[in-house]
Chain A
Amino acid sequence: MRDPGRRLARGAAMVAGVLLGVAALRAAPAAPDPAWTALARLRADDALREFARGNRPEEERDFGTAVALLARQPIAPEQVAAARTVFARLADHGSGEVAPASRYFLGRIAQHHLEVADPAEAARQYRRLIAEHPDSIWAQTALTRLALLELYPATAAGSPAAAVAAAEALLDHAKLPAARSEIHLVVADAIFFYRLPAAQALPHLLAAEKIGLLDAPTRADTLIQIAEVSVLAGDRARARRYYEAYLADFPLDQRRFMVRQKLAGL
Chain B
Amino acid sequence: MKLAPIGLAVLGVALAAAATLGWRHGRRAADDRVTIRLSHWQLEGTVREGLQAVARRYEELHPRVKVEILVVPDTIYRQWMRTQLVGGTAPDLIEYTMWWGRIEELAPRYFTPITRYVTEPNPYNRGTPLAGVPWRDTFLDGMNGVDGYNTLMRDYYAPTIAMFTMRLFYNRTLLREITGRDEPPQTWREFLALADQVRAFARREHRVVSTIGNSWDNARWLAEPVTHGMGSHFSPQLDHDHTLSLSYWEVALGWQRGEWSFRTPELANGLAVFRELGNASQPGFVQMKRDVAMLDFLRGHALILCAGSWDASSLRREAPFEVGAFRLPLPGAEDPVYGPQTLGPLSDGSVQTSTPFYLNKASAHPDVALDFLRFLTSVEGNQIFVNISQWLPAIRGVKPTDFSRRFMPFYDGYNWGAATSYFSGTGTEMNMFFLQEMHRLFGPAGSVAAFQDEFDRRGREYSNRDLRAHLRDSRVAFNSDDVSATARLWITPGSDRLPATPALLEAKYYQTARVMDPPGASAPTSPPQSP
Contact = CB atoms under 8 A, between A and B. Distances in A.
B464 to A, nearest CB: 19
5 contacts: A42-B109, A141-B499, A178-B497, A194-B524, A257-B414
Interface of B: 108-109, 112, 140-142, 144, 149, 151, 154, 240-245, 347, 349-352, 361, 411-415, 418, 475, 478-480, 482-484, 486-491, 496-500, 502-504, 506-507, 510-511, 513-514, 519-525, 527
* Secondary structure type dominating chain B contacts: loop
B489 A257 contact: no
A178 to B, nearest CB: 5
B524 A257 contact: no
A255 B513 CA distance: 30
A145 B480 contact: no
A148 B510 contact: yes
B240 A192 contact: yes
Contacts of B491: 32-33, 36-37, 40
Nearest to A113: B479
A224 B244 contact: yes
B120 to A, nearest CB: 16
A182 B504 contact: yes
A108 B498 CA distance: 14
A158 B522 contact: yes
B504 A68 contact: no
B415 A254 contact: yes
A252 B108 CA distance: 28
B498 A254 contact: no
Contact of B488 (A40, A192, A217): A40
A164 interface: no
Given A156-B520, A254-B347, A39 B483 contact: yes
A215 interface: yes
The CB with the most chain B CB atoms within 10 A, among A47, A113, A148, A254, is that of A254
Interface stretch (A10-18, A19-27, A183-191): A183-191
Interface in A188-233: 189-190, 192-195, 198, 213, 215-218, 221, 224-225, 228-229, 232
Contacts of B361: 41-43
A67 B486 contact: yes
Nearest to A44: B483
Q: How large is the interface on A (under 10, 10 to 19, 20 to 34, 35 or more residues)?
A: 35 or more
A232 B451 CA distance: 38
B457 to A, nearest CB: 29
A251 to B, nearest CB: 9
Given A144-B503, A182-B503, A224-B242, A156 B488 contact: no
Contacts of B486: 39, 67, 101
B498 A152 contact: no
A160 interface: yes
Contact of B243 (A70, A156, A221): A221
B479 A137 contact: no
A153 interface: yes
Given A68-B483, A229-B242, A257-B414, A153 B350 contact: no
Contacts of B109: 42, 73
A184 B149 CA distance: 23
Contact of A144 (B242, B413, B500, B514): B500
A252 B140 contact: yes
B92 to A, nearest CB: 14
Contacts of B414: 257-258
